[in-house]
Amino acid sequence: MKQIQTLQQLNDIINTGEPVLIYFSGESCSVCKVLKPKIEQEVSKNFPKFKIYEVQTDIHKEIPSQFTVFSIPTTIIYFDKKEFKRYSRNMSLYQFSEEIKRPYTLMCE
């Protein structure tokens, strides 16, 4: 995952219109560390056109507040500059994959 450094950088990425996954995590969050490689593997295997980025909420405190992220880990999916789905805390990778499969197919293939 590529690291986001500024709010402007993140807004520019979203405004490209490409499918984007933003992963909000924290350094002291053990769930974040366990979930991150699983999400990366799932996305690279099944959704290769997704651009994946990470925001470390303990370093960049202004970014999560602009995206109304109040708990970590939080994953936000964007299709065509619009938020499609948001997952916070407990996240099923199977459910995640099933919910984005159809819009991904329609938008990217």
CATH code 3.40.30.10 for 2-103: yes
Position 107 scores a pLDDT of: 82
Angle CA 91–46–9, to nearest 5: 70
Mean pLDDT in order along the chain per 10 residues (109 residues): 92 93 92 92 92 92 90 93 90 90 85
What is the C-alpha to C-alpha distance for residues 33 and 25, in angstroms, rounded to an integer? Answer: 8
- Look at residue 24 in the predicted model and tell me its pLDDT: 94
**Positive or negative CA dihedral for 53, 34, 88, 77?**
positive
Domain positions in the chain: 2-103
Tell me the C-alpha distance between 6 and 48, whole Å.
25
CB 33 within 8 A of CB 86: no
Radius of gyration (C-alpha) of the chain in whole angstroms: 13
Tokens of 4: 């986001």
The per-residue pLDDT for 36 is 92
Locate 77 and state its tokens: 């999916």
pLDDT, residue 61, reads 87
Task: State the sign of the Cα–Cα–Cα–Cα dihedral 25, 37, 31, 99.
Answer: positive
What does the pLDDT read at residue 92? Answer: 87
Quick one: pLDDT at residue 1?
86
